[in-house]
Structure 1
Amino acid sequence: MLDALSPGLVDDVADGAAGEVHERNVERLSTHKRLLYDIVKRHGEVSSTDSHAAYEEHISAPKSKATRRRYLGAHERYRLIEQDGATRGTRYRLVEP
């Protein structure tokens, strides 16, 4: 039975599991967190300034910028997005599972 386990098979199973974890993490996002994720997904890559502007266009009572930065940081820890840069030069992009 163990003879049937190949590195390719293990890689396929691992990739599938990573995709399922990614999707589950996205499904569990609250409304505000999901909107920030969707903005990054829609743009592919977006600056911090543009992500905040897009968020504020869609939400009547937006969370503070500090809270949004925490949300984006959590997205990065869960490997949903990647952050490049700091302060005003920060850019976010989607991480593919």
Structure 2
Amino acid sequence: MSIHRWPTSSIKEWETLMRNFLGTGSPTETKKTTVACDKVCKPYEEGGLCIRRLRELNLTFLMKLGWHVLNENNNFADLRRSKYFTIDNEVIKCNVSTSI
């Protein structure tokens, strides 16, 4: 989750399993929800359970990875910079289609 952008379909499937588990105790059993997902995902102080949405979590991890690539001085960051940037720090633009 921290190195790839997850497909929306996978995120929806995982969030469905999580909601089922919170509602029934089993990820496979469904039940009409009595509390909206937006309310459950609020912080404790606002009456929620402080559960993060997976899309937001995925984007947060990717932004953190990007920050490390741009600001750290280690072998991993050097490898990523060499893959995505030219010597003049220009972003390498390429379009690669995926099967996802």
- TM-score in terms of structure 1 length: 0.27
Bigger Rg, structure 1 or 2: 2
Q: Give the number of the structure whose residues are more often helix, by fraction.
A: 1
Say which structure is richer in strand. Answer: 1
TM-score, normalising length: structure 2: 0.27
